[in-house]
Structure 1
Amino acid sequence: MIKLEMLSSAEKVKGQGVASAYRELVNVLERKAQHKYDLQLNTFQAADITHYHTIDLKFYLASFSRKRGINVGYVHFLPETVDDSLQLPRFFRRVFYKYILAFYKRMDRLVVVNPSFIDKLAQYGIERDRVSYIPNFVSKEGFSEGTEEERIAFRQRFNIPEQAFVVLGAGQIQHRKGVLDFLDVAKRLKHIHFVWAGGFSFGQLTAGYAELKKLVENPPENVHFTGILERHEMKHCYNAADLLFSPSYHELFPMTILEAMSCNKPLLLRDLPLYENILFDFYERAGTNEAFAATIARLEADRSFYEQTVERAKKGASFYSEERLLNEWDAFYSSLLKIREPVHE
């Protein structure tokens, strides 16, 4: 068996996609590949492969031990993406950015969730042949179409009418997520209910925290902020909605998109180049708040158009199935053993 150690502190912070991606990979390996992998979580035991999901200092120091075997780093962010999310003191920011790159360069191999990051890592001096692209995925066991009773119950929890058209936004409340645009579009469509599932996962470190907090505390009448939800609650959130709307300005491969598609919910996303090579024709896109509002209005009024958009999302869910991505991870891990001999007790 391949001795595989997972190192992660992602689940200490609720409401972030890094933790969701980590849990999905662990779950599928435990359920469907237990015959091939001796999987350990944060044990620091001798391993053939150590997969680092977060960049904790103790993990960086551990990477120098031969017990770690082959070091694999998961790239969820780069310095420029942190800039859009957190407000850090200038000196600490410079030190932290150097540390991020030092951590990545310490790894034998890196895995990115969006192919656009391969070029960006190369600009930081990391060889392309050390970087692999493996997209995120979600399990149908955790995210699938729910019942009418579940849909109604979730709507009642947030005082949303049963027959209302509901637009869902999901993720951390940050400027880069397009929360201000989400609110502006909601003001243009006052008869439609808008729900944002997520909160301030990093508290006052969040860029624009003071401004965003005021808006969350005083939203328009047709906007509902749920706060941070447990991940198992998100299935009910998607199924209570009619559409996932993400006006985010910068993303990698959001788990929210995969979760919504797995629940057979259509997608309306900002027209970003980084989506083109990963989401193909699985979604509707727009670039302005006027266009967002017009597309949402059409999805509400035109049932045929709505159903076509649902079918495209279903194609996306099938394409990013856990079965296919398990095969990709298995092939990747197996290929690493050619670099170094396996650990023998």
Structure 2
Amino acid sequence: MFSSATKVKGQGVGSAYAELVQLLKKHFADDIDVQINKLGRSDISHYHTVDFRFYLSTFLPQRGRKIGYVHFLPETLNGSLKIPQPFRWIFFHYLIAFYKRMDQLVVVNPSFIKDLMRYGIREDKITYIPNFVSKESFFELSKKEKIELRKKKGISESKFVIVGTGQIQERKGVADFIKLARRLPKIQFIWVGGFSFGKITDGYSELKKVVDNPPVNLSFPGIVERGKMNEFYNLADVFLLPSFNELFPMSVLEAFSCGVPVVLRDLELYNSIIAGYYLPASDVDEMKVSIEKLAEDEEKLKKLHEKAVKASKKYSEDYLAQVWYSFYKKQTEMVKR
């Protein structure tokens, strides 16, 4: 494994990487020897981030099959980071060059296979394996535990709570999350996350003003350690992610795993992975109406909870463990040919 994803806190790439390493060590400790950021002879070199030193390592001998995890594409970075030209152009070309150095790419959303093909990467070099989360890390608390949790956080048991998570940036739709908080003053909004990349974050100046001085019903607890995120999901009556562009957000899977009803911006890219498990809304107006209806209709909220539970079973750790094992097994067999 090659990754620097955990150096920057509060981003989904780090979460996906941590989940996979944990899965392999838990299920296949006797079959798979996992080494982190160590050069040496290996059957497989799995690259999770696109560091230049990792790119250089692909030219060394005895690297085995080079696997690249596609967590983002040039177009998905729009609205995330402010990279001035010509550095933006250089980085985007470097990113595709990195992917082309791989023997096999893994995408977390099948809709991105065609995007990679447009960059000149053959379809037979791309494998779809969805993200997943562990039930040991993300799980639904009992009703009694949720009441105690709200007391601990100073939130009324009767308060309707909306939780969103992720980096505070334009692409995540945080500006719309703020608009909704202002338009729904009786509902408590919580956005868990921060400016992981500081001032180069797209929309930093305007968003920072609100983070420093939010409406009364909106709180920003900042970047929270992954081990404590389960509490925030269990505070929520609804999980809302108004993001404009994603691959396969870990936060949505975490919410599903906690049995939280999910509302997402109506994006086409979700159709091939989680259609039917969440409530889609195209803009702020639709999100507002959806939230109001869920706050007033307990039966509607219950049905959306049931869908979340079903989704969490579909993307379970046990199922994806076998998928990853089969994938790695196939790659090692190709090394031996």
- 2:164 alignment partner in structure 1: 169
Q: Is 1:234 matched up with 2:223?
A: no
The CA RMSD measured in Å over matched residues stands at 1.3
Aligned length: 337
* CA apart distance, 1:324: 0.9
CA distance in 2, matches of 1:265, 1:98: 39
- 1:3 alignment partner in structure 2: none
The more displaced of 147-156 and 161-170 is: 147-156
- 1:104 alignment partner in structure 2: 99
CA distance in 1, matches of 2:229, 2:145: 12
- 1:80 alignment partner in structure 2: 75
CA distance in 2, matches of 1:312, 1:251: 21
CA distance in 2, matches of 1:307, 1:256: 20
Q: Is 1:190 matched up with 2:185?
A: yes
Aligned positions of 1:123-134 closer than 5 A: 123-134=118-129
Do the aligned partners of 1:150 and 1:236 also contact (CA within 8 Å) in 2?
A: no
Give the partner amino acid of 2:175: L
* CA apart distance, 1:266: 0.7
* CA apart distance, 1:160: 2.5
The more displaced of 184-193 and 166-175 is: 184-193
Give the partner amino acid of 2:69: Y
- 1:179 alignment partner in structure 2: 174
Gaps of at least 5 residues in structure 1 are: 1-5
Q: Deviations over 1:180-200 (max 9, x none)?
A: 111111222111100000000
Give me the identity figure in percent.
Answer: 50
- 1:14 alignment partner in structure 2: 9
Which residue of 191, 212, 222 corresponds with 2:217? 222
Give the partner amino acid of 2:288: A
The more displaced of 45-54 and 155-164 is: 155-164
Do the aligned partners of 1:269 and 1:285 also contact (CA within 8 Å) in 2?
A: yes
CA distance in 2, matches of 1:18, 1:197: 16
CA distance in 2, matches of 1:134, 1:76: 12
Give the partner amino acid of 1:173: I
Q: What SS class does the counterpart of residue 256 from structure 1 fall into?
A: helix
CA distance in 2, matches of 1:155, 1:181: 25
CA distance in 2, matches of 1:41, 1:75: 18
Q: What SS class does the counterpart of residue 334 from structure 2 fall into?
A: coil
CA distance in 2, matches of 1:195, 1:161: 14
- 1:249 alignment partner in structure 2: 244
Gaps of at least 5 residues in structure 2 are: none
- 1:199 alignment partner in structure 2: 194
The more displaced of 281-290 and 145-154 is: 145-154
What TM-score do you get using the length of structure 1 for normalisation?
0.95
The more displaced of 17-26 and 144-153 is: 144-153
* CA apart distance, 1:218: 1.6
* CA apart distance, 1:36: 1.4
CA distance in 1, matches of 2:123, 2:116: 8
* CA apart distance, 1:152: 4.5
Q: Is 1:313 matched up with 2:308?
A: yes
CA distance in 2, matches of 1:56, 1:44: 14
Give the partner amino acid of 2:34: L
Aligned positions of 1:287-298 closer than 5 A: 287-298=282-293
Q: What SS class does the counterpart of residue 318 from structure 1 fall into?
A: helix
The more displaced of 145-154 and 189-198 is: 145-154
Q: Is 1:33 matched up with 2:28?
A: yes
* CA apart distance, 1:277: 0.7
Give the partner amino acid of 1:294: V
